[in-house]
Structure 1
């Protein structure tokens, strides 16, 4: 029995006119415990408890001494088959095919490990199982830390007080946007995970729920949908901003759109985890400089020129409106006077992650960052930061970048993006990329930004033929064209806004047995 339950049953005795003569108040949880019909839950010292919690413990002890109810040694004991815990993983997995036949199983919440993980009792099957919510990831917490957890505004403010200056040696991070979560974010996420746990405990502990089991993982945890009062609790937690969308398994259900909408709602309202201010280790990374550090990416939807394609996750684009400015920079870089004053580096001066100017095959110089150095061969791998491509050069083709042409004067012109919602098979990838280039490279395209990759390295975007898009907003995207041509397949874990459109185009390509589907309906998701 839950010690939180303070249920009271009141019996009133009165005269015919309804006036109270006498009143008797019976506390039901005390009565049940006293008769040995309920068990008092154990609590840690810091947990919330019922006001009569210690009295309940005394009554339980008395019931044990009197050997009533569940303490009666002559009662037949119904043993529950406990298949929870990693030690029972093999036994648990043997029940998977039995349990996923049921659309709605009645269960009760026996224990809560975290906002998305529970121990459930299924009376009809006489089972005790571990259960994880489908579609949501919540940061793990140590329950032992909850009582002593005191991280809060003071600590977080201290961590956010210090700012960093741009270091030229961090040029590689600056260009690629390789941001890492900082300590302040981690503390805030941990606090929210604890809030989520407490909220879930309040809502579900010892409550009756309905579950639908979809699968069982290697650790013996059943994964599926849990409903409380006819509400999908996973969707509910996502809408409150208590977790991140976890795409694993969602493609096998019809509920995916509900999960995506819940996340979008939480983001829009900036609830909990979405209210945390994102602070990258490299706040001045090139993409943020170019996009002015704004959170609303849709305001950067515009016409761009595609300057480089290496992979579907490594595409470089430049704003069409910045082309004149880029030309001006290039003219300035290649003025004879500037090149003459830009003395060549000697071996000891060439360092990794340094911003330089580097010669290209057209004999012109471009701004670049040094990625790798091979001192034995006197060569360096560089990335041209305004165009996105890479090349290996001799040391003699690398020169110093003048201060007047640095990132502070001219932020990088190229942005690294990825085709939203699609994947490309590993087999014959280099050949397939040639086809992708035909759709994108050296073209002006209208680009819609959807989201930034978690590690901050690139943006997921949807491409459109810009001339068609300016006259018809419902025109088919280039992403869809690539899928319908059979060059790529749909990423079933993607939350792109054009997901349903991409799936329709994939069906067309499969039926026509185009390119990657030439040998049938292959499950490319197995490669992931």
Structure 2
């Protein structure tokens, strides 16, 4: 631009001469160099008036080649003029960060731009630029005489042209335009340059811990964030937090326009580069920490610098410098780390892969893995790879000791409560890496100022390797394994569970995983081979019940023991049978091969009941129970020897007045050892109830369709009786029913059914299921099964009998039945006739009964009666579940 209306012409351009002539000389510090003829300065006079203000000044009578501009959202990229970069670099290296003096020669009335004679260490900068050929000198208008400096600049520029210096080098002109790169893979850049020092020039300071640099040589424009620190800043359009401008100003002062070296540390999920930015060997991150204008960020901090950064941060915090003076400021990273440190044992992997940890004091913590997105299992369907993610943690962590480190706390908002996030370490292994390396999780793409895992950089490297191989969630969703299974645990259907029993018994011992612990002796299992979820009850034992209303003694302790040893562990099961509630019954072995039922008995956490008589190795159960009693362990803490002596039984006959016989009547025979009985002392109550029912029958509702398990009234003979619905035909016209007061089943049409009034529904059934104690009959589908049923019916039908209850289990009583008229014991008679055999039993109560039973069995065996017709029965043919057979 021509210098019209300029200051009076000077005879000399030396600074001292200009001062002597009365020129106004101002001092400033060069903050940045925009081109070969334009500077950004902070004038001394402006600093006295308040916060530093940037002033842009141009070299008078000078025109440098125009620098190109990188592409932005608002404008396309422009190219450099030839030699623009070289001209700017010459001036930048000369004056950046230096003290200068300047005299304003002209002010553009439109833009307000000042055109100045600039002096650096007494030397005229414009004259120097002209002599080196880095500017074009603008001559004065014809109306004005040239200034002394202007004349000298013209002369030197002409010499530079003759010498092909600077912008006048015609041979290099074609190669004097930079190829600027703003669109390139920062990930590839990071991989290429990590571990090396990269030379660059700071082109812009975005905020106190983020700068844009141009890489020397390749002219790649790269946004770099300081590794290990974060200064206050706010996304565009949001209110700035305190000290945001101060942090930016201090970095502009020490870095803007400076030569720096980048020591690349890591990149984040959005390919943001984190690096140490060294200027003259100094680390500006330390300056930010010292001045209280940044806090330490561990996840991207250089390992060699982290301890020093924390030390500096701690001192600033102690002195309450800047950000640490704010009331809402959290403590430094070192304090947060100490506060969030826990060592404990993993007890459960929750949905979404939360890790439930219990420390040595019993304090519980759920560790949510920081910075991870993990597939979840939901009622509406499981997300791909959710099973694999949870199984990986279950197999690796359950029962192991881990270290839990608090990384950050997500504050509460309108949608979510406050939630803490952690890094969990198994030894030296970060658990999050176990999921990422297999592709069972993704890293969260955090916003720049969001807290994140302290190991985020290392986790990102692992994720990128999984992405490269399209592992797990990084591959096609249809490649994820399908996990289709039948859930038999939610609404157990006995018949359906029985259909699966065969698969659970082939082979006899199978692997399963414990999904839930109901109590010490009942769990929910997933069996992968049979592809089913089942309820599973341990055979032969009973644990105290842990009901909310009335928990039994020691129940909570037993449940805790079971959870600590079984929950989400791999176990082995030997399924034997299915109970009437649809739960599979059998043995369960822990991962170390121990019989868990026996372990419960040893600790006094379970008592042994009669069904243990049928188990191979049942003697160990009874011995363990005796030892637990002697040691007053668990449920036996208040046990006394006389408690057992009261149960000893003397020689049994139905007429022995010293035995506690109850009078019964058999109302149904199911098989050779299973009956339904009524107590004779309750018959008058039954008759009264039936009379009340039949005198108060409800009206028939043609639209009434009772559901399964509903109590109803149906006719039998001339009277209506109570029954429960056990099955419904598809067309809902026929119902299978069970007469609860007599024990028999029947099928009835819909049109005879009446609803049962509530007052009758509440009365307990008068028929009880009973099994002959200590004996085992053949089943109905076996040879001699029907003969056994016919024989026992002949012994008990239409007779007034007596019985002793040996034990009660799940609503079934195990009894010894006697006939006072013949003075015989039905159990003994069935064995004597060869239609039952003696159960293997070590029950203390049975010891007085077994000699007579075995004597009867020996008679039947020698006489080849009933089941002994073909001689001795091999163990493999005994009517016992597979798991109870000798091996």
With the length of structure 2 as denominator, give the TM-score of the two structures.
0.29
TM-score calculated relative to the size of structure 1: 0.46
Whichever structure has more helix as a proportion of its residues is 1
Relative contact order higher in (CA < 8 Å, ≥ 6 apart): 1
